[in-house]
Structure 1
Amino acid sequence: MDIPTWVWIATAVVTIAVFAFDLVVIGRKPHEPSMKECATYLSIYVGLAVLFGLGVWWTSGGTPALEFFSGWLVEYSLSIDNLFIFIIIMAKFAVPKELQQFALMVGIVMALVMRAIFIGVGATAINNFSWVFYLFGLFLVYTAVKLAKEGAEDEDEDDEFEENRVVAFVEKRFPATSEWHGEKLLVKEGAQRMITPMFIVIITLGTTDLLFALDSIPAIFGITKEPYLVLTANIFALMGLRQLYFLIGGLLQRLIYLSYGLSFLLAFIGVKLILHAMHENELPFVNGGEHISWAPEIPIWLSLVVILATLAVTAVLSLWASGRMDDAQQDAASGPRRDWDDD
């Protein structure tokens, strides 16, 4: 795809406008969103993503459009896994329900900025070094195996979250207050300016999502090498993440096989990347630096079929199996449940 400069600029402007509008709306009246509100916004964002994909099809052809839809689905499915950690973070910091939406929104904006930088670095590396696909592929396969092992362990998810070094540094170096001051990030107590719990929560959400990007960005580059599609797929996936958090919070506990489905997808894309690297091989110690012609290329339509089938099978099996379990068994399989109706 040959993306004109004005398209990049227009995309950036629209994205900033959407997130700015969202922040202004939330900031005007902090509240816990209703299911109707979440469903409405999520439907709008999903609809916009579908329209965007159809627009790509109309302007650039079927292959780029399939790449966008495949990448968007992968990013969305991996983002659902992120929600488990977001729930734990909110519980750990005891974020008031009416402030959770604002914290998620600002954290997501931070994550999008950092992902955009990551995408730029990844695209530059891919364009200059074909062997990067080997690294991405092997990393995804490793991550898939690790994720599958974690899914097989019956451990309490509240113990899985560990404060990252950035948050630990902030808490250690800056004076902080333990009291919530609404959406304020900084408050002045006496002569000293202090950071609030909201500041720490936002930093935690943003940096935690960046760690998840170490998996998701290589994964989507395994589907498309077009930076514009990679970026827009991430934008649309993150746009609906906040609404998804509130809409299916309780349902997340029933997706007991999600880690297995995601590990299979990561392994599949990892193998796809390795095969692609073999096909375009330039490493002198592999096949004498020559392309490995017999290495098959997995077509994008097959990738989309595998992604859709994996997500569907994972969801159906998870809901069926969890429906036959009592509360204690579900907690053992997916971590302790959170009562979304409690104050």
Structure 2
Amino acid sequence: MTRVRGGSVLDLPSIASAQLWAISVAVLLVLLATDFAITRRPHDVAMREAVGWSLFYLALPAAFGALIWHRYGHRPAMDFYTGYVVEKALSVDNLFVFMLLLAAFAVPPRLAQRVLLYGIAGALVLRAIFIAAGAAVLHSGTWAFLLFGAVLLLTAGKVLREAMRAEEYRVDVDRMRSVRLMRRLMPVTGEYHGGRLSVVRDGRRALTPLALVVVAVFMTDVVFAVDSVPAVYGVTEDPYLVFATNAFALLGLRALYFVLHNVLDRLRHLNHGLAVILAFIGVKLVLHWAHSVWESVPDIPTDASLAVIAATLVTVTATSLRADRKDRVTT
């Protein structure tokens, strides 16, 4: 982690040169453009197609981490892998909310991947903004570790309380502020018009329901960005690695949604695991701040963090599947 002197954060050498940033952004734009080209023609996504793209987007970060390890060593590679696992776990929770939104807006299955892609593109823009803001906060002083730790601990408590209630989460479209605002600004058609966000009706431009669901997904991205960016900054303070973990975790969501669509509701203990992970990283950040002030306070290494996070995810997945099997037997 970053060393401190006199209450301010000293910069560690970042692995990212201007050339690496440029190449990474260019590759990201190419991947997004490819996804938009694929979804330009609305169609139902077959499982074979979804699995193929999911494997591709899992292979990319695996290869990227290996490249980082080869060129820059063990430490940044482990930071990347750990941050990626954290972001991927949080992104699955994103998928669950996206699934509820798509159902609430009655999005036709053939348009679902276009909505998801809009959401992913919006999330990438938001994450870039939050990452830049997080870097600025970290460079302002060691109090930033306490701030991020407090945010994660409060979020963990909120997630755990919601998980313990075991209530079915519902989306009321008519009560969503973003939807009410959009309806005030422009008329909205009652039916979808393919992948179009707006159409001309009686000489006047009107939004389609697709535009409303895209805005709703974008607003949920704001909430998730507040949680995910501090979480990955708890793993590494290199803005490039923070950006890379977010980008790789988000890029595969479109395909992963169709792979996990029928099993997401079976991961009933996922939020319990996410609460544990967020709380763990929050404690890690607080300890790191304390370590910068009192060297006798232990600082949790990244390798140990990865082990805890992986063990938590494996445990909640196993307990979720066991509980689901038990319910199926009793019913």
Smaller-chain TM-score range?
Answer: over 0.9
1:25 is aligned to 38
CA distance change for structure 1 residues 42 and 20 in 2, over 3 Å: closer, same or farther? same
Question: Quick one: structure 1 residues 301 and 185, their matched pair in 2 at CA, closer, same or farther if it must change by over 3 Å?
Answer: same
Show structure 2 runs of 5+ residues with no match: 1-13
Please tell me whether residue 140 in structure 1 is matched to residue 152 in structure 2.
Answer: yes
State the Cα deviation string for residues 262-285 of structure 1 (Å, max 9, x = none).
1000000000001111222xxxxx
Is the contact between residue 108 and residue 205 of structure 1 (CA under 8 Å) also seen in structure 2?
A: no
For structure 1, list consecutive stretches of 5 or more residues without a partner in the other structure.
Answer: 281-290, 330-343
In 2, the alpha carbon distance for the partners of 1:277 and 1:130 equals 6
| Residues 225-264 of structure 1: pairs in structure 2 closer than 5 A | 225-264=237-276
Distance change (3 Å), C-alpha of 1:131 and 1:13 = same
The aligned runs of 1:56-67 (5 Å cut-off) are 56-67=68-79
Q: Normalized against structure 1, the TM-score is what?
A: 0.89
Q: 1:44 to 1:127 in 2, by over 3 A?
A: same
Q: Tell me the equivalent position of 1:314.
A: 316
SS of residue in 2 equivalent to 1:188 = strand
Query: Contact 1:187–1:194 (CA<8 Å) still a contact in 2?
Result: yes
Alignment of 1:1-343 (within 5 A): 1-27=14-40, 29-158=41-170, 164-280=176-292, 291-326=293-328
Return the alpha-carbon distance in structure 1 between the equivalents of residues 299 and 252 of structure 2.
32
1:104-140, CA deviations, whole angstroms, 9 ceiling, x for partnerless residues? 1111101111111111111111112220110110111
Judge conservation of contact 1:53–1:68 (CA < 8 Å) in 2: yes
- Classify 1:168/1:188 alpha carbon distance in 2 versus 1 (closer, same or farther; 3 Å): same
**Equivalence for 1:339:** none
Is the contact between residue 137 and residue 270 of structure 1 (CA under 8 Å) also seen in structure 2?
yes
- Give the 3 Å change call, closer, same or farther, for CA 163–131 of structure 1 in structure 2: farther
Question: When the two structures are superposed, what TM-score results if normalisation uses the length of structure 2?
Answer: 0.92
Structure-2 separation of matches of 1:30 and 1:328: 40
Partner of 1:121: helix, strand, or coil?
helix
- Output the CA distance in 2 between the equivalents of 1:162 and 1:224: 40
Tell me how far apart the structure 2 counterparts of residues 302 and 166 of structure 1 sit (CA, whole Å): 41
Identical aligned pairs, as a percentage?
Answer: 39
Q: Deviations over 1:46-100 (max 9, x none)?
A: 0011000011111111010001000001000011111111111001110000001
Structure 1 range deviating more: 122-131 or 48-57: 122-131
2: CA distance between counterparts of 1:98 and 1:160? 23
Q: Runs of at least 4 residues of structure 1 off by over 4 A?
A: 159-164
Amino acid at match of 1:7: L
Hey, what's the Cα distance between the residues in 2 that align with 1:95 and 1:161? Answer: 12
**Letter matched to residue 79 of structure 1:** S
Structure-2 change in CA distance of 1:8 and 1:67 (3 Å): same
In structure 2, distance between residues paired with 1:196 and 1:10: 36
Deviation at 1:171, TM superposition (A): 2.4
Please state how far the C-alpha of 1:165 moved relative to its aligned partner.
Answer: 3.5
Match of 2:11 in 1: none
Q: Deviations over 1:265-318 (max 9, x none)?
A: 0000000001111222xxxxxxxxxx1222210001000101111111111111
AA aligned to 1:249 is: H
* Alpha-carbon separation, structure 2, partners of 1:159 and 1:166: 13
Identify the range of structure 1 (74-83 vs 170-179) with the bigger mean alpha-carbon deviation. 170-179
Q: CA deviation at 1:26?
A: 1.2
CA distance in 2, matches of 1:7, 1:126: 22
Please tell me whether the aligned partners of residues 111 and 207 of structure 1 are also in contact (alpha carbons under 8 angstroms).
Answer: no
